[in-house]
A and B are shown apart, each in its own frame.
Chain A
Amino acid sequence: MQDDDQPLDDVLVAVFPAPHSYTGENVVEIHCHGGLALASAVQELALKAGARLARAGEFTERAVRNGKMDLLEAEALSAILAADGPDELESARASRRLAPLLRSLSGRARDALAGAMGALDYPLEVGDQPVDWRAEAAALATELERLLASPALEGAFREGVVVALLGPPNAGKSSLFNALVGEERALIDAEPGTTRDAQPCALLLGGRRFTIVDTAGIRAAHGIEARAVARSLEISRTANLLIWVEDISAPPSEPPVSVELRVLAKSDLAPHASRVAAGWSSSALRVSALSGEGISELRQALQARAPNAMAVLSARQKRLLEEAARSLSRMSDTADDLAAEHLARAQQALASLAGMDGGVIDASEIYSRLCVGK
């Protein structure tokens, strides 16, 4: 390559003629030598010749437009490309493997809908060959519920494993939070009830992404604090791992929800095990933000107890799944005309989940399943 008369670099050029490229368009790759300066110079040269920089994701977008991959695949792929750790990469790959399942769910909804509409369209003809589309829809609903409830799908992908620190006020949650994430993130104060807003912070442990969430202390509270407490409990419902944090020098407390891990904070205040009151959980981990006792053990415990994050749905995918499940649940007790309407909505949501257009069932599809007519 040369800039005007000045030689720049000896490069390797690979030509991918359409449609045999990633994007499906004609693609030329320039492989140049060595350092950043040379690469930048080559790029500058290309820009000068009329090229422009790609927008983020533009190559994948073009691949979708040109039918090289469907949207579902692209979505999963963009997660793979964005993966920060090996586990995250693995779950992104699993999401990609989820695509056929989502497609089959969509197909089943379509079949059930064809049965429902066939029965409404052709009462005389279908009379002696009823398709039990309500049973098909019910089976589908069960499957969706199961999928939505499975821990493998919990937690939004980009947040990794969500860990919530719960406990009574002033138990030392915020100090522990800071010790865990290794920087002064949460506002710390000796006055109980300082933390009113949950502060998530990302943490990479053993190649896996964790999101640690500090919460307001749980106790009977009023006003703005009462709302913060309610939010703490709300967070506890969406987190993957709950840690109950209590003050080793305070009277024992019981978590209002079941937790995966219990820790006794401020262990520096009770250096001898004998001073721990009888009845306190022996499995509880002693930690101290001040002395650093137990922090690395806690990190290991988090890694050990994190669920094996498998296929994880994006927020959009989860919303559509929930929408489909909700529509299906509304079918019971309704007459066929409205039940078919709910089924159509579920089908629409699932189809759009599977990256296909939704909702509209061609009348001719009904015939492929039924012998109708006189």
Chain B
Amino acid sequence: MVVGLGHAGAEAALAASRLGSRVAAVTQEPSRACLMSCNPAIGAPGKSQLVREIDALGAGMAEAADESALQIRLLNRSKGPAGWATRLQVDRLAYARAMQRRLAAAASIEVIRGDVSRLRTAGAGASSRVAGVELEDGSAIEAGAVVLTTGTFLSARMHVGRAQSVGGRAGDRSSEGLSVQLRELGVQTGRFKTGTPPRLDGSSIDWSRCEEQPSEAGVGPLSMRTEARAFPRLPQRSTYVTRTNPATHAVVMAALGASPLTTGAITGRGPRYCPSLEQKVLSYPEKPGHVVYLEPDGLGTEQVYPAGLSTSLPADAQLKFLRTISGLEHVELVQPGYAVEYDYLKAGQLSVWLELKALAGLFCAGQINGSSGYEEAAGQGLVAGVNAVRLTRGAAAWVPAPEESYLGVLCHDLTRRSFEEPYRVLPTRAEHRLTLREDNASLRMVPHGLALGLIDEHAARPVLRLGSQIEERLARLSAAEMRWLQHPLRRVEEACGPSAPLQGLEAALAQAIFVAARYAPYEEQRRVARERLLAAADLEIPEQIDPRRIPGLSSEARDALERARPKRIREAAALPGVSPEAISILAVYLRRLEQLRVVSRGTTD
């Protein structure tokens, strides 16, 4: 049973159906399934890798984005392959339809229109488990497992200026009953806020006053199942770049009194990486302007998404500040920007496979877990869907490893750490970011997809073959050839040249080997560091140590250590809220103390 059909719910339903389960998916409005509520784009550093990883596990997101791509860019192109990130701007409606087609094509998924009012449970106390859901029309659906993907719809409030309304997205309702029931179960919820910019009428924009940014050629599709020759399928559209200016900021400042951010109407924390224009103007008064990307919303619409202008000011103030911006002097609003506040589950209440500890069989995915972003939602949806099925079959839960995928980083971070703002995957968060690249995402994940039953042998075979070719070839390279390939200024073209190590190889294979060779020494170092950390597992933590005094530990890790008082590093590592970083800090601290004792031996103090 899947509640909600956004990016998390859809992947949960698709994954469960690929594993052969019967899935009921309840949504308020099936025609609005998988609509992008905000920026119509897939991919960014971290996110692009994540999308490719779940693609190798059979998810629909990458294919749907390839089918509906309007503008293609390779971000961080000059920063080395580990930094590369494919970003696709898509036709918003085409994307939603591509996903809806996939849901409709899966024979074992039944999409049900409705509002879930309650969860049904069986058993009591520690043995209580979920048994199904009740809909507002009084009907009930039995289920062995439920995946809850409420997005921003849990006790949702929308804000435009001083006006408040109940709802999770422009035109959609809020779910209230579930919030109440979760709290009855003892689940702790917090409030997060997110926002979206106004939508503009493209026919009222003077494009000549903006800088054009065309779609890039030669960038491959996101999905390993999309044929490179057939990509992109849709005609390409440019994005246009303009900026805010001091006049814009003056209008914003004057209207701040009516902003729900300053009136105190909004209490939830919003993502810092997605600040509203109000927040930007307040936090960076010295900046004369902020960049604005005018992105097309689709082929069949004039609607434009102005990235960088998220706001919850009153609609008239929005129009006023927009018209101070170059190119937007005569712009018309299609829909004002707004902020949404919603409930999320505070960290520590979910297992790392996304099942609620307080109620067996209830899985949660997406914004309800405190994340933001379509890609993050889709990744969690897939993990929740897979594990919901495995639970009903009595199989052990599947947990992706953070060393191996952004998907693993995502699940571990969300369930083991707490964040004060909606969570986004970022290379910074991945300890093994040099290993977790777009180019090897399918190599990393296809073996799991095959083992779990998410993809078939036919789909896996070419990837597995490529993987063994790369390994074989790498093993045959001499140490001197490896060093030659690893030279910082080496280019793949040289490596394929006459009598060079990769001469005569097919371009894709040569590129893959070239990149793998480049990062091989770093992967080795990471592996060694990891082993050293494992070797610290038995280090004793003396009782007198006060975790609150250990410099550099996050307050969260300190609290966790303070509460649980683990005796060894191994026990500390198993605590929620104690990240691998905290563990390495602790290990270093203990070893330094040991060293200090040796240094000061022979000294009286």
Interface residues of B in 555-605 (CB under 8 A from A): 581, 584-585, 588-589, 592-593, 595-597, 599-605
B434 interface residue (CB < 8 Å to A): yes
Q: Does A352 contact B (CB under 8 A)?
A: yes
**A58–B595 alpha-carbon span in the complex (Å):** 12
- Given A75-B596, A374-B310, decide whether A357 and B552 contact each other with a Cβ distance below 8 A: yes
Q: Contact between B554 and A336 (Cβ–Cβ < 8 Å)?
A: no
**Do A56 and B602 touch (CB < 8 A)?**
yes
Query: B141: CB under 8 A from chain A?
Result: no
- Quick check: B554 and A362 within 8 Å, CB to CB? yes
Q: Decide: A371 near B275, CB < 8 A? Known: A82-B602, A362-B554.
A: yes
Residues of A within 8 A of B (CB-CB), count? 58
Contact between A373 and B274 (Cβ–Cβ < 8 Å)? yes
User: Does A363 make an interface contact (CB < 8 A)?
Assistant: yes
Is the beta-carbon distance between B293 and A65 smaller than 8 angstroms? no
Docked Cα-Cα span, A81 to B603, in Å, equals 7
Question: A57-B600, A335-B80, A336-B83 given as contacts; is B273 within 8 A of A372 (CB)?
Answer: yes
**Residue B499 lies at the interface, judged by CB distance under 8 Å to chain A:** no
Q: Is B549 an interface residue (CB 8 A)?
A: yes
Contacts of A373 in B (CB 8 A): 271-275
Q: Smallest Cβ distance from A261 to chain B, in angstroms?
A: 33
Set of chain A residues within 8 Å of B45, measured between Cβ atoms: 120-123
List residues of chain B with CB within 8 A of the CB of A280: none
Q: Which residues of B contact A372 (CB under 8 A)?
A: 272-273
Interface string of A352-374 (1 = CB under 8 A from B): 10011111111110110001111
Question: Which residue in chain A gives the minimum CB-CB distance to B595?
Answer: A316
Q: What 1/0 mask marks residues of chain B from 273 to 307 whose CB sits below 8 Å from any chain A CB? A: 11100001001100100110100000000000001
CB–CB B291/A56 < 8 A: no
A334 to B550, CA, bound (A): 35
Taken together as a complex, chains A and B put the C-alpha atoms of A7 and B34 apart, in Å, by: 88
Contact in complex: B597, A371 (CB < 8 Å)? no
B427 is an interface residue with CB less than 8 A from chain A: yes
Give bound CA distance, A120 to B287, whole Å: 22
Contacts of B271 in A (CB 8 A): 373
In the complex, the answer to whether A78 meets B600 with C-beta atoms within 8 Å is: yes
Please indicate the chain B residues that have their CB under 8 angstroms from the CB of A363 in the complex.
426, 428-429
Chain B residues within 8 Å of A70, by CB: 551
Interface stretch (choices B25-33, B168-176, B475-483, B538-546)? B538-546
Task: Name the residue among B76, B83, B272, B428 with the largest chain A CB count within 10 angstroms.
Answer: B428
Q: When the two chains form their complex, are residues B581 and A359 in contact, meaning their CB atoms are under 8 A apart?
A: yes
Contacts of B550 in A (CB 8 A): 357
Assess whether B488 is interfacial by the CB under 8 Å rule. Answer: yes
Contact check, B83 vs A337: say whether CB atoms are below 8 A apart: yes
A223 to chain B, nearest CB (A): 32
Q: Closest CB-CB distance, B40 to chain A, in whole Å?
A: 12
B421 closest partner in A (C-beta)? A364
B553 at the interface (CB under 8 A from A): yes
Residue on B with the closest CB to A57? B600
Residues of chain B in range 177-214 having any CB-CB distance to chain A below 8 Å? none
Does A333 lie at the interface of the complex (its beta carbon under 8 Å from any beta carbon of B)?
yes
Report if A65-B593 is in contact (Cβ < 8 Å); known contacts: A123-B75, A335-B488, A358-B588.
yes
Least distance between B412 CB and chain A CB atoms (Å): 14
Give, as a whole number of angstroms, the nearest-CB distance from B536 to chain A: 14
Residues in B with CB closer than 8 Å to A74 are 596, 600
The chain A residue sitting closest to B542, CB to CB, is: A65
**Residues of chain A with a CB closer than 8 A to B554's CB:** 362
Chain B hits for A333, CB < 8 A: 488-489
- Residues of the B chain whose Cβ atoms lie less than 8 Å from the Cβ of A57: 596-597, 599-601, 603, 605
Provide a sorted-by-A list of 18 A–B residue pairs whose CB atoms are within 8 angstroms: A61-B600, A64-B596, A65-B542, A66-B546, A67-B546, A82-B603, A122-B273, A129-B287, A335-B79, A336-B80, A337-B79, A337-B81, A337-B83, A337-B434, A338-B522, A357-B581, A359-B584, A373-B273
Interface contacts beyond A67-B546, A74-B596, A359-B584: sample of 12 additional A-B pairs, CB < 8 Å, sorted by A: A60-B596, A62-B544, A67-B549, A78-B599, A123-B85, A335-B83, A335-B488, A336-B80, A336-B83, A364-B272, A364-B420, A367-B272
